[in-house]
């Protein structure tokens, strides 16, 4: 059995030192354990030796769907990265990305009771990544794409969704979009105006920005402008465009704004920053509609400091950081989304499932507690994963992508049981 190394004599002086000491002591944060330890020959025969151990093989050979009942596939997710767009670090490669993917796996387990394992690929060609993931997919019940740079991430996800009959979810895109939508739903409950009538500017046209724009359009937001480093994206623009920006240009920017972020923001209701630090000024916020909503989500440094945004007239401010109120954190979404998708053996994670997840997250902020400092649940709120899992499972069943029908309330109850069992260990 694994034994952690002894602590060093000197106590870590900084969080950086403590993070390194923790991982050195445990040599990573993941392990693989057998659910059925082999303690005698009877169990050995059942688990590994013919003829008894071949019984599940025959079952799966005759009925391929039996693999979900008889193997780990039903609760195992591959966290796939090439290390090309990791957190705020950028292109650090697959090996340096491994600690981040380990952390992601811990969140899957801790917040969704989902087994997940890092698959860090030393490959950059999108088609070869697709081939590699498709080749190993039989072992997994779902694929979580992570920290893959845009626009390659769009191509990889689309190709895998086409080839695989199981959930494929790029968390940097869709996890972000789900939690942003959840926070916006509550911000507009607080504001007392319909989200469907909101004028929104998103700054940042990478994976998260484009996915967020698409999900907001599906939800019914009517007027949205997407900006990048060159300003608003519009149909006739040629500089800095790719086919994904061209696609979103056909769906957004109804007024044809062209000049700059500052001009695009005039009279709008919402700023969503998925870009870089300090690009939003108090003057820009003052030019927006009364009681604007500011989501400054760049990490670790937001597009504007929350205090400055509030002083400039913002009704509510969200960031990606845990040391400010209203943290928009993907961990509110992906554990419950995969829990629900896995429990109904979903073939896909579609828009209906994402919208259901966002609405479930938003609903966990009670009306009596809703305030400018509380529009989104805490990222470690254990009420969130069961609610999201149930909502996602229900949407999967209703839209016909579930292989099996399970009562969503049973899924919620089982998720709660698994999570609270884990906290008592």
Residue whose C-alpha is closest to residue 408's, from 346, 318, 343, 348 = 343
Residue whose C-alpha is closest to residue 97's, from 111, 87, 107 = 87
With a CB cutoff of 8 Å and minimum separation 6, the contacts of 324 are: 306, 317
The sheet carrying 270-273 orders its strands as: 231-232, 223-228, 199-203, 270-273, 293-296, 316-319
Query: Token pair for residue 244?
Result: 């994904």
| H or E, element range at 79 | strand 76-81
Q: Is 73 a catalytic residue?
A: no
Residue corresponding to tokens 């105006």: 193
Q: How many helices (H) and strands (E) does the chain have?
A: 17, 10
186 appears as a binding residue in the annotation: no
Active-site pick, 104, 214, 245, 354: 104
Query: DSSP secondary-structure letter at 404?
Result: S
- In this structure, which long-range contacts are made by residues 286-294, counting pairs with CB atoms below 8 Å and at least 24 apart in sequence? 286/312, 286/313, 287/262, 288/313, 289/199, 291/191, 291/315, 292/268, 293/184, 293/187, 293/188, 293/191, 293/269, 294/270, 294/318
With a CB cutoff of 8 Å and minimum separation 6, the contacts of 297 are: 176, 180, 272, 273, 274, 303, 318, 319, 320, 328
With a CB cutoff of 8 Å and minimum separation 6, the contacts of 388 are: 332, 333, 335, 336, 337, 339, 340, 357, 360, 361
Query: Token pair for residue 117?
Result: 């394992």
146 appears as a binding residue in the annotation: yes
299 appears as a binding residue in the annotation: yes
Query: DSSP secondary-structure letter at 77?
Result: E
| Whole-angstrom distance, CA of residue 75 vs CA of residue 335 | 12
Q: Is 420 a catalytic residue?
A: no
- Write out the DSSP string of 143-207: EEE-S--TTHHHHHHHHHHHH-SS-EEEHHHHHHHHHHHHHHHHHHHHHTS-GGG-EEEEE--SH
247 appears as a binding residue in the annotation: no
329 appears as a binding residue in the annotation: yes
CB-count exposure of residue 415 (10 Å: 0-12, 13-18, 19+)? buried
**Residue ranges for the binding site for (S)-malate?**
299, 329
Binding residues for a divalent metal cation: 146-147, 172
Return the active site residues.
48, 104
């Amino acid at each position: 059995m694994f034994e952690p190394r002894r602590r060093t004599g000197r106590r870590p002086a900084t969080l950086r030192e403590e993070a390194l000491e923790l991982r050195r002591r445990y040599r990573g944060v993941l392990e693989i354990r057998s659910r059925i330890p082999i303690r005698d020959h009877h169990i050995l025969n059942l688990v590994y030796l013919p003829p008894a151990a071949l019984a599940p093989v025959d079952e799966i050979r005759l009925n391929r769907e039996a693999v979900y009942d008889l193997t780990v596939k039903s609760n195992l997710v591959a966290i796939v990265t090439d290390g090309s767009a990791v957190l705020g670090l950028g292109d650090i490669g697959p090996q340096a990305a491994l600690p981040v993917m380990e952390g992601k796996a811990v969140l899957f387990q801790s917040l969704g009771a989902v087994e997940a394992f890092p698959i860090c690929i030393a490959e950059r060609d999108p088609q070869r990544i697709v081939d590699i993931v498709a080749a190993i997919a039989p072992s997994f019940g779902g694929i979580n794409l992570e920290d893959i740079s845009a626009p390659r991430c769009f191509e990889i996800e689309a190709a895998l969704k086409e080839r695989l009959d199981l959930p494929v979810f790029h968390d940097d895109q869709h996890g972000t979009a789900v939690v942003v939508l959840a926070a916006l739903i509550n911000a507009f409950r607080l504001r007392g105006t319909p989200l469907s009538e909101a004028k929104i500017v998103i700054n940042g046209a990478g994976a998260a920005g484009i996915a967020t724009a698409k999900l907001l359009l599906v939800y019914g937001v009517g007027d949205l402008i997407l900006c990048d480093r060159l300003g608003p994206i519009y149909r006739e623009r040629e500089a800095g465009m790719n086919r994904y920006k061209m696609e979103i240009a056909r769906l957004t920017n109804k007024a044809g704004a062209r000049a700059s972020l500052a001009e695009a923001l005039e009279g709008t209701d919402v700023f969503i920053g998925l870009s870089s630090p300090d690009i939003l000024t108090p003057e820009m916020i003052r030019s927006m509609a009364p009681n604007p909503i500011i989501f400054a989500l760049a990490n670790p440094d937001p597009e504007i400091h929350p205090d400055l945004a509030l002083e400039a007239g913002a009704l509510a401010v969200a960031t990606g950081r845990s040391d400010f109120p209203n943290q928009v954190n993907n961990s509110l979404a992906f554990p419950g989304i995969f829990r629900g998708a896995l429990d109904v053996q979903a073939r896909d994670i579609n828009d209906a499932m994402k919208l259901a997840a966002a609405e479930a997250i938003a609903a966990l902020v009670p009306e009596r507690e809703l305030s400018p400092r509380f529009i989104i649940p805490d990222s470690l709120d254990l009420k969130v994963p069961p609610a999201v899992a149930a909502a996602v499972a229900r949407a999967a069943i209703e839209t016909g992508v579930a292989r099996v029908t399970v009562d969503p309330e049973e899924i919620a109850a089982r998720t709660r049981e698994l999570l609270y069992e884990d906290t008592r260990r």
